[in-house]
Amino acid sequence: MKIRTIGRHARESIKSIGRNGWMTFASVSAVTVTLILVGVFFVIMMNLNRVAETVEEDVEIRVHIDVAATKENQDSLKAQLEAIPEVKSVTFSSKEQELDALVKSMGEEGKAFKLFEQDNPLNDVFIVKTKKPNDTMKVAKKVESFTYVAKVKYGQGKVEKLFKFINASRNVGIVLILGLFFTAVFLISNTIKITIIARRKEIKIMRLVGATNGFIRWPFFLEGLLLGVLGSILPIVLISIAYYRAYDYLKPKLTGTFIEVLPFSPFVYQLSGLLLLMGALIGIWGSMMSVRKFLKV
């Protein structure tokens, strides 16, 4: 194919988009509507996922060290803990630090505990974080059997429930996103298909005048691409603006809580890229699938 023929195809596809006014409008709005849906849903899912991650990251295992343990015993226990493959970090917290933290967390009433400074009943503690939050239970169980371990605490019972809930909601989210994605694909490609079926006579005529399949296909390929890209512009703009506003509004209200909203950059740029790519691919796919049917004249 010659370069000027590529230029011809590009001109032809743009012309066709203009001359098939209403059909173009139908296809582009189908893309727009579904991509807005997909985009909004994606924003919600990604942020919920972020919240879940923050919650999970707060989960830690507190390994209470036996009071009888010497410095050497503590060091070897630390080495033992670090040797567990799932473990990300082990931090030492002395019983004095533990008491301080306790006093602080109790506020005014915590002052009563100050008396214990002379005779601290608490243990030294190793704070263990796992690489994957889901491994917390497994690691905790293993640690319980180590020597010089007095107690292992990680919010038993509550953490299991929390993880169960987070995992379930993640799965539901994935199913919903997939469902929405397929709906989008079918809705958009069907609309584009209808616009091309309306032109099957044209395709037949082109064949009769001596156009090869490749020659016929190219303008449709480019047209599908353009329809998809045009259709994704509005969703990208709308979601970007809405996210920017929502982020500004929510950010101050959520400081201090464990909920965290994904920052505008790079999240919105990634989302925009994703929507653009989806629009383009679905546009191309829809138009190629429908043209293929009419090329056998």
Q: State the residues that interact with other proteins by CB under 8 A.
A: 1-2, 4-5, 8, 15-16, 19-20, 199, 202, 205-213, 215, 296-297
C-alpha–C-alpha distance, residues 100 and 103, integer Å: 5
CB of 203 to other proteins, least distance (A): 10
User: How many helices (H) does the chain have, and how many strands (E)?
Assistant: 9, 4
Tokens representing 69?
A: 């343990």
The residue (of 31 and 206) whose beta carbon lies closer to other proteins is: 206
DSSP class of residue 141 equals H
C-alpha–C-alpha distance, residues 50 and 47, integer Å: 5
C-alpha–C-alpha distance, residues 80 and 139, integer Å: 12
CB of 169 to other proteins, least distance (A): 50
Dihedral pair phi/psi, residue 91, rounded to 5°: -120, 140
CA triple 179-181-184, angle to 5 deg? 110
CB of 175 to other proteins, least distance (A): 42
CB of 26 to other proteins, least distance (A): 16
C-alpha–C-alpha distance, residues 60 and 98, integer Å: 15
CB of 7 to other proteins, least distance (A): 10
The residue (of 166 and 216) whose beta carbon lies closer to other proteins is: 216
The residue (of 20 and 134) whose beta carbon lies closer to other proteins is: 20
The residue (of 3 and 115) whose beta carbon lies closer to other proteins is: 3
Q: Is 173 within 8 Å of 52 (Cβ atoms)?
A: no
CB of 215 to other proteins, least distance (A): 6
C-alpha–C-alpha distance, residues 203 and 231, integer Å: 25
The residue (of 9 and 193) whose beta carbon lies closer to other proteins is: 9
The residue (of 197 and 281) whose beta carbon lies closer to other proteins is: 197
DSSP string, 178-210: HHHHHHHHHHHHHHHHHHHHTTHHHHHHHHHTT
